[in-house]
């Protein structure tokens, strides 16, 4: 192992430890607190923590072993199982974060009707959909044998070993990541931008009412007024910062996983198109050569251009026939 691989292995170990500790604490809070269990966001938080724990325990250690050994860490059967779990848990985590953002949007934009719009049953339905979506897109590669060890990622993941199914695999990759990552990212951006808009509107109303009340009751010193305005700006910045951190963490965690696969598929497609183009060009050249060869050397070419009762040109009839040649 070189120095870069050692640093990367240590980085994975740190992530595994931090992820395990933080998600286990969240899971313990959910188990021991009946109030959290009764709340709708607790369902999404518990599902997300469960997926993160499984990724930390199952998939990341296998990647670490692949980096250290520079080869497939386990047998084919176990490697396919790990690939299935990686695809399932990753998609499930993305969709769960999207569902959590929808819950927060309803809670902020429709606070008075939140209990009727987002019930516990609705949250369970959304979680079941994320599980069904993830299971379906994980089952397809398993049936087509698209799970294998990838030396590029040093892990068991979505990997095509047979180039004959390159187009199908590319279409599946695009559809899978579009309906998982891109869909979740769009939902996160739309819902949290609406949340930010509503939060700023309410903050502005509260600030206006507060300032008007202070002006009516007491005479405000200019320095106090400046402090109030500065506090308003800090409050708006805090809301923007929290939403930016949530969306940014989603992009930082999942974008490399998706972008590297898009880039790999695009690179392979370019190679495949180049090979197909060269093959087509070679076939056309061979075809043109065969056409020229047939034109000049095929027997009866010139005579076939005339009807039976038509006389041939003089330069053709001047050649002796095979019967008249004596050896």
Residue 228 within a domain:
no
Helix axes 3-32, 60-69, angle to 10 degrees: 170
Residue 26 within a domain:
yes
Q: Which two tokens stand for residue 289?
A: 């050569």
Residue recorded with tokens 């979505």: 158
Instruction: Give 70's contacts (C-beta < 8 A, 6+ positions apart).
Output: 154
CB 93 within 8 A of CB 51: yes
Spell out the SS3 assignment of 234-282. HHHHHHHHHHHHHHHHHHHHHHHHHHHHHHHHHHHHHHHHHHHHHHHHH
Helix axes 76-109, 40-54, angle to 10 degrees: 160
Q: Would you list the DSSP string of 28-46?
A: HHHHH-HHHHHSHHHHHHH
Structure-model confidence comparison of residues 48 and 219, the more confident one: 48
CB 73 within 8 A of CB 66: yes
Residue 319 within a domain:
no
DSSP-H helix ranges across the chain: 3-32, 34-38, 40-54, 60-69, 76-109, 114-117, 120-143, 166-177, 183-217, 222-297, 314-317
Residue 272 within a domain:
yes
Please tell me whether residue 156 adopts helix, strand or coil conformation: strand
In the chain, the number of structural domains is 1
CB 96 within 8 A of CB 47: yes
Compute the distance between CA of residue 40 and CA of residue 115 in angstroms, rounded to an integer: 9
Compute the distance between CA of residue 40 and CA of residue 120 in angstroms, rounded to an integer: 5
State the CATH number of the domain containing residue 266: 1.20.1070.10
Residue 30 within a domain:
yes
Q: Kindly report which listed range (32-36, 107-111, 163-167) carries the lowest average pLDDT score.
A: 163-167
pLDDT band at 260 (very low <50, low <70, confident <90, very high): confident
Summarize pLDDT for 117-138 with one digit per residue, the tens.
899 899 999 999 999 999 999 9
pTM value? 0.74
Find the domain containing 27 and state its range. Answer: 3-191+252-281
Summarize pLDDT for 281-325 with one digit per residue, the tens.
555 555 554 444 343 334 443 334 434 444 444 433 444 444 444
Q: Residue 157, exposed/middle/buried by CB under 10 A (0-12, 13-18, 19+)?
A: buried
Neighbours of 129 (CB within 10 A): 12
Residue 211 within a domain:
no
Residue 199 within a domain:
no
pLDDT of residue 277: 54
Residue 321 within a domain:
no
């Amino acid at each position: 192992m070189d120095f870069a691989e050692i640093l990367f292995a240590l980085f994975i170990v740190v992530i595994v430890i931090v992820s395990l500790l933080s998600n286990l604490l969240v899971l313990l809070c959910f188990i021991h607190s009946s109030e959290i269990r009764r709340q709708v966001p607790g369902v999404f938080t518990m599902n997300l923590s469960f997926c993160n724990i499984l990724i930390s325990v199952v998939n990341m250690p296998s990647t670490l072993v692949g980096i250290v050994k520079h080869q497939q860490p386990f047998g084919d059967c176990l490697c396919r199982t790990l690939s299935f779990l990686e695809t399932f848990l990753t998609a499930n985590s993305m969709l769960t974060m999207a569902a959590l953002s929808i819950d927060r949007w309803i809670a902020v934009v429709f606070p008075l009707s939140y209990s009727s719009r987002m019930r516990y049953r609705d949250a369970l339905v959304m979680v079941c959909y994320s599980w069904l979506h993830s299971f379906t897109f994980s089952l397809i590669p398993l049936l087509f044998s698209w799970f294998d060890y990838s030396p590029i990622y040093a892990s068991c993941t979505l990997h095509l070993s047979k180039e004959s199914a390159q187009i199908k695999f590319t279409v599946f990759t695009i559809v899978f990541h579009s309906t998982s990552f891109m869909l979740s990212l769009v939902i996160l951006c739309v819902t949290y931008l609406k949340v930010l808009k509503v939060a700023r509107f309410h903050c502005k109303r509260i600030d206006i009412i507060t300032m008007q009340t202070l002006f009516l009751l007491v005479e405000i010193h200019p320095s106090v007024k400046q402090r109030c305005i500065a506090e308003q700006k800090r409050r708006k910045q805090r809301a923007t910062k929290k939403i930016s951190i949530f969306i940014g963490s989603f992009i930082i965690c999942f974008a490399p996983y998706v972008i590297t696969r898009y880039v790999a598929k695009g690179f392979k497609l370019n190679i495949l198109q180049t090979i197909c183009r060269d093959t087509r060009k070679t076939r056309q050249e061979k075809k043109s050569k065969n056409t020229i060869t047939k034109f000049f050397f095929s027997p009866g070419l010139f005579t076939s251009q005339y009807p039976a009762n038509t006389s041939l040109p003089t330069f053709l009839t001047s050649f002796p026939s095979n019967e008249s040649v004596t050896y």
